[in-house]
Amino acid sequence: MPEYKAPQRDIQFVLNDLLQMEQHYQSLPGCEDATPDMVGAIVEEGARFAERVLSPLNRVGDEQGCSFKDGEVTTPEGFREAYQQFVEGGWPSLSHSPEFGGQGLPESIGIIINEMVGSANWSWAMYPGLSHGAMNTLEAHGTDEQKQTYLTKLVSGEWTGTMCLTEPHCGTDLGLLRTKAEPNADGSYAISGTKIFISAGEHDMADNIVHIVLARLPEAPAGVKGISLFIVPKFIPTAAGDAGERNAVACGSIEHKMGIHGNSTCVMNFDGATGYLIGPPNKGLNCMFTFMNTARLGTALQGLAHAEWGFQNSLSYARERLQMRALNGPAAPDKPADPIIVHPEVRKMLLTQKAIAEGGRALIYHCAQLVDKTKLASDEEKVQADTQLALLTPIAKAFLTELGFESANHALQIYGGHGYISEWGMEQNVRDSRISMLYEGTTQIQALDLLGRKVLMSEGKTLMAFTKVIHKFCQAAAEEPKMRAFVGPLEKHNKEWGELTQQLGMKAMMNRDEVGAASVDYLMYSGYVTLAYFWARMAQVAQHKLAEGSGDAAFYRAKLTTARFYFERILPRTRSLVETMLSGSDNLMALSEEHFAF
Ligand SMILES: Cc1cc2nc3c(=O)[nH]c(=O)nc-3n(C[C@H](O)[C@H](O)[C@H](O)COP(=O)(O)OP(=O)(O)OC[C@H]3O[C@@H](n4cnc5c(N)ncnc54)[C@H](O)[C@@H]3O)c2cc1C
């Protein structure tokens, strides 16, 4: 049976050794209580919940899926009870404001719990995950009254949230959306329209569901400039703040889909439902970005989750499965054949997953620290953190989900034909991971955001702020002879990243299609370089620990070996990306539409 064991050793390494969590929290007002002991205890408790409660439900969720009858959704057996335990444990409130019942811990602690919960059971984790985004949106843009009414219930976990953007004719291009919001006499709005693919839109886990909905006011400008944001509760809160009268929003059906069967994907019909405006009229998309940015980092985590889960299970399998002999002679002569972990190509698949999972963890936890800074640091630091986060969010989302899917496929491959059979769980992992490259902005859209909006529109400034950080690291680390194997290629790539950007910027001035044609290659290139930076930093920490003779030497040596693997076997993928990204748009645009097929 596939299992999940929270990688606590590696989590502690990233938090304490790499990202200097203690100093980070000490430097932020209100976070001084987040000592390593306290965080360690939270991680241990979260790990127990993920391993014991959620992991056994992962398969159940896939096999049973959600069912739909008379407008109601029943979640798979055990999901509801697990959610009750989650609420009783106070987990939904972890990183939300004490003013609304939260525990006031920084976002970066919440992300550790989300990693473990999501790796154990992604479908289940999406229910509280969407609530978290709804809470962040209300916290940032809601009125005091809205916060008192909705935020407190979301923070306690009694109610859950959703994000309602997509309509049948509009997914990527939200400027096309048609859902209407007509003003009512009492200051509320009547919301009418159909939203599709709404995750956790209807379920049986909480007393009320708070939909955060994009819609258009009468006479609103066309396109994205005419979109406003609304709260539409399933049950309208009473004066006492409880779930009251049923609102005119209902689930019309749920989707039958490739993976994440345990999470309901709903068609939501709004039939003049009562809604309440959040933020200024026609600025809905700006407010929704708060939700989307939380969700993008949350989806980046999905890449890590499937990589970690597949890695753990395929590693156990590779140690036990006996097939063929090692090329250099028997490794287990007492057995009829050697375990497949002796074969170089099996090791390549294992190490790829390990490098992606551990590198991805470093990148995402770093982004979470940036989120802490954007909320709590001094003004100057806030701006710096915001700039870096703007660059790293599309990279983390798209690059890590693409590699998470690759990893899930490697895990399946290691199981051979057994990986294709449901019993082993590997095909579920592949199916579940596939959605991560589609929702929260497809890879193609993240790539346009990165190269077009974040990099070229800032005239390269957003990128330069980060390449400067890498350059400084390389300069300092170049003094250490053992770091040369990492610093040399990293510095070379860092310089090349800037040069490629300049070349693409020049081409774009002549032809805008050049941006689109280079975008995904550019994003993947950026991802490989970013991960190389984190692997170089991890290698440096490991070398220092080994030199000091402190800690678990085998752990640090494994880190160094994995870093070497990353630099020698994964980073060189950038060579083909450079060629293709510079090959121009003509090879894509030359074929006329009618000549695609004959
Ligand atoms: C299981 C599931 C759960 C979901 N959960 C939610 C949810 O909770 N809330 C919600 O609002 N939505 C949700 N979605 C919707 C999801 O976010 C959209 O499916 C996604 O944004 C893509 O939109 P689309 O499907 O309409 O594809 P389209 O926008 O039609 O895109 C089709 C293809 O064209 C490409 N494309 C489009 N424009 C460009 C361009 N300019 N350049 C390059 N390529 C382009 C896209 O990358 C894609 O490959 C969910 C979807 C699924 C399947």
How many CB atoms lie under 10 A from the CB of residue 559? 23
CA–CA dist 161, 288 (Å, integer) = 13
3-state secondary structure of 229: strand
- 3-class DSSP string for 177-201: CCCEEEECCCCCEEEEEEEEEEECC
Judge contact between 189 and 182, C-beta under 8 A. Answer: yes
Report which ligand 1 atom has the smallest distance to the Cα of 173: 29
In this structure, what token pair is assigned to residue 208? 């009320």
- Ligand 1 binding residues, C-beta < 6 A: 163-166, 171-172, 197-199, 257, 265, 435, 438-439, 442, 444-445, 448, 516
Instruction: Report how far Cα 49 is from the mean position of its chain's Cα atoms.
Output: 20
Question: Rounded to whole angstroms, what are the CA distances from 106 to 21, 36, 93, 119?
Answer: 11, 13, 11, 21
The count of residues in the chain is 598
| Å from CA of 587 to ligand 1 middle | 26
Dihedral of the alpha carbons of 390, 395, 401, 407, in degrees to the nearest 10: -140
Q: What is the mean pLDDT of the chain?
A: 96
Residue 1 is predicted with a pLDDT of 81
Judge contact between 469 and 448, C-beta under 8 A. Answer: no
Mean pLDDT, residues 457-481 taken together: 97
3-state secondary structure of 322: strand
Residue 482 is predicted with a pLDDT of 95
Residue 293 is predicted with a pLDDT of 76
User: By mean pLDDT, which of 341-350, 371-380, 387-396 is the weakest?
Assistant: 371-380
The residue to mutate among 166, 209, 588, having the most atoms of ligand 1 within 8 angstroms of its beta carbon, is: 166
Which amino acid does the sequence have at 367?
C
Which amino acid does the sequence have at 299?
T
Residue 114 is predicted with a pLDDT of 97
Which amino acid does the sequence have at 5?
K
Tell me phi and psi for residue 319, to 5 degrees.
-80, -25
Enclosing H/E stretch for 562? helix 553-565
The predicted-structure confidence for 322-342, as pLDDT tens digits, reads as follows 999 999 999 999 999 999 999
CA–CA dist 521, 523 (Å, integer) = 5
Ligand 1, atom 44: nearest CA belongs to which residue?
444
Report which ligand 1 atom has the smallest distance to the Cα of 163: 9
In this structure, what token pair is assigned to residue 166? 């997509």
| Å from CA of 299 to ligand 1 middle | 14
pTM: 0.98
The predicted-structure confidence for 520-541, as pLDDT tens digits, reads as follows 999 999 999 999 999 999 999 9
How many CB atoms lie under 10 A from the CB of residue 433? 27
Report which ligand 1 atom has the smallest distance to the Cα of 257: 1
Active centre residues (catalytic): 440
| Cα maximum dimension of the chain | 83
Residue 318 is predicted with a pLDDT of 98
Q: How confident is the model at residue 196 (pLDDT cuts 50, 70, 90)?
A: very high
| Å from CA of 440 to ligand 1 middle | 8
The predicted-structure confidence for 26-55, as pLDDT tens digits, reads as follows 999 989 889 999 999 999 999 999 999 999
Q: How confident is the model at residue 165 (pLDDT cuts 50, 70, 90)?
A: very high
Place of tokens 């430097």: 27
The residue to mutate among 266, 438, 515, having the most atoms of ligand 1 within 8 angstroms of its beta carbon, is: 438
Residue 105 is predicted with a pLDDT of 93
Residue 288 is predicted with a pLDDT of 84
Which percentage of the chain shows pLDDT scores above 70?
100
291 has pLDDT over 80: no
| Å from CA of 285 to ligand 1 middle | 16
464 has pLDDT over 80: yes
In this structure, what token pair is assigned to residue 463? 């990128």
Ligand 1, atom 27: nearest CA belongs to which residue?
171
| Strand segments (E) across 357-433 | none
Residue 287 is predicted with a pLDDT of 87
Judge contact between 545 and 551, C-beta under 8 A. Answer: yes
| Å from CA of 450 to ligand 1 middle | 17
Mean pLDDT, residues 133-162 taken together: 95
Based on its alpha-carbon atoms, the radius of gyration of the chain, rounded to whole angstroms, reads: 24
DSSP state of 335: S
